[in-house]
Amino acid sequence: MPSPHRPRTLRALVSAACTAVLGAGLLAGTGAPSATAATSAQEAAAGSKVVGYFTEWGTYDRKYYVRNIETSGSADRLTHINYAFGNVTGGKCAIGDAYAATDRAYTAEESIDGVADTWDQPLRGTFNQLRKLKEKHPGLKVIWSFGGWTWSGGFGEAAKNPAAFAQSCLDLVEDPRWAGVFDGIDIDWEYPNACGATCDTSGRDAYRELMAALRSTFGPDRLVTAAIPADATDGGKIDAADYAGAAPYVDWYNPMTYDFFGAWDTAGPTAPHSPLTSYEGIPKAEYNSAATIAKLTGLGVPADKLLLGIGFYGRGWTGVTQAEPGGTATGPAPGTYEAGIDDYKVLKDRCPATGTVGGTAYARCGDQWWSYDTPETVASKTEWKNQQGLGGTFFWELSGDTANGELIKAIR
């Protein structure tokens, strides 16, 4: 799964203007922007979007609440929040964890406005907290993301009747019980016509047809976005589906330019999981963000419809043999919640970065080796994103940052 500046008010106005231009330029019956609208949108949108994923399960062990988005200063820098994840089952969009989303009662200390939930109020949970956050930040948009690594198995059935799937999603996103919370939908299908946790055999055209149905159903005024793979190898996951053909139907894509390498290769070689560029000794030359963007733009996806993905976490090995990348290992390093992965906010002190390679940082601590982005590498990546004319940045995910938002504040 996505496994991750100027004041927000100005960026929000630019982003809203871009969305309006795109909506006004939709050609009747096609969902494709006119040439004039596309040109104006590219000029207005370049670099403007800052999209952060917020996880539904963060309310449990992580104790990361919507309130933390406000207290960290992140709300002032975000243009959009992707709420992860809704389920895809029975050919329809479905709520993921209803307790976390709509039922959990927040105390005054946990609530964004210091007001505790009551037993008889019509909406509690994270959805209510997101509504309160939007009241504080009227320009902020919230998008409901569906699928992810765990719940992408249902997309194959959804692809058999795209129109029915799209209607079920619109009905859920705009359910009157949480009216005004969501501004659109994000599709995180891992992966169309390829393998993730499960293997999909829908065919290369299925993704384009599903996204076309979503745009037709959601219309020009609601956001339709998607997380897509970053595998730029010939015959890889990008080639498996028609992402260029589907591009006219999305407001933007989030190519998941992280998790290129990790301790699922238990013996190594050690390598940064989110390199911006290739470097001498990289295990796979095409496994880097620059190659992903070049592949997608080469296929015809407009640069301003691509956001650069950044991970607010690191991946690491144990039993390593050297400080530089390319060494051997014996397995995944221990993590707070899962072996081989940990948050930036943990790693910055537990295993401080000692070097950079391919535009991202790495460190050796005892027999462990970790790679992760720092404020310095995030700033460099976003400068590169600006040079490429990309539509902005997105990251997985908010709870990985420090309490004062060190990483999001480095996004330029």
**408, 321 contact by CB (below 8 A):** no
Residue 36 φ/ψ region, left for φ over 0, alpha for ψ in the -120 to 50 degree band, beta for the rest: alpha
Report the candidate in 270, 289, 299, 282 with the shortest Cα–Cα distance to residue 369: 270
CA distance 191 to 147: 10
Reading the block at residue 35, the tokens are: 């040439």
Instruction: List, in sequence order, the alpha helices (H) in 46-105.
Output: 66-71, 98
Classify strands 92-94 and 80-89 as parallel, antiparallel or unpaired: antiparallel
pLDDT given for residue 327 in this prediction:
97
CA distance 258 to 274: 4
The domain spans of the chain are 8-256+302-312+373-409
Q: How many CA atoms lie within 13 A of 185 on its CB side?
A: 32
| Residue located via tokens 């940052």 | 401
Backbone torsions φ then ψ of 135, nearest 5 degrees: -65, -35
Q: Calculate helix-pair angle for 35-45, 8-24, nearest 10 degrees.
A: 170
| Per-position DSSP letters for 339-379, written without gaps between them | TTEEEHHHHHHHS---EEETTEEEEEETTEEEEE--HHHHH
pLDDT given for residue 12 in this prediction:
33
Report the candidate in 41, 45, 36, 152 with the shortest Cα–Cα distance to residue 88: 152
| Residue located via tokens 């389920």 | 87
**112, 70 contact by CB (below 8 A):** yes
C-beta atoms surrounding 346 within 10 Å: 18
| Cβ partners under 8 Å of residue 338, min gap 6 | none
CA distance 304 to 87: 29
Reading the block at residue 183, the tokens are: 């501004």
From first to last of its 412 residues, the chain has per-residue pLDDT tens of 444 322 222 233 333 333 333 333 332 333 333 333 333 333 344 558 999 999 999 999 999 999 999 999 999 999 999 999 999 999 999 999 999 999 999 999 999 999 999 999 999 999 999 999 999 999 999 999 999 999 999 999 999 999 999 999 999 999 999 999 999 999 999 999 999 999 999 999 999 999 999 999 999 999 999 999 999 999 999 999 999 999 999 999 999 999 999 999 999 999 999 999 999 999 999 999 999 999 999 999 999 999 999 999 999 999 999 999 999 999 999 999 999 999 999 999 999 999 999 999 999 999 999 999 999 999 999 999 999 999 999 999 999 999 999 999 999 8
Find residue 307's DSSP bridge partners.
392
> Residue 119: is it exposed, middle or buried by C-beta count within 10 angstroms (0-12/13-18/19+)?
exposed
| Residue located via tokens 């384009």 | 208
pLDDT given for residue 47 in this prediction:
57
Catalytic residue numbers read 190
Report the candidate in 212, 144, 220, 214 with the shortest Cα–Cα distance to residue 180: 144
Q: Of 3.20.20.80, 3.30.360.10, 3.40.50.280, 3.40.50.2300, which CATH number belongs to 8-256+302-312+373-409?
A: 3.20.20.80
CA distance 185 to 169: 8
pLDDT given for residue 412 in this prediction:
80
- For the chain, first and last CA: distance in Å? 25
pLDDT given for residue 149 in this prediction:
97
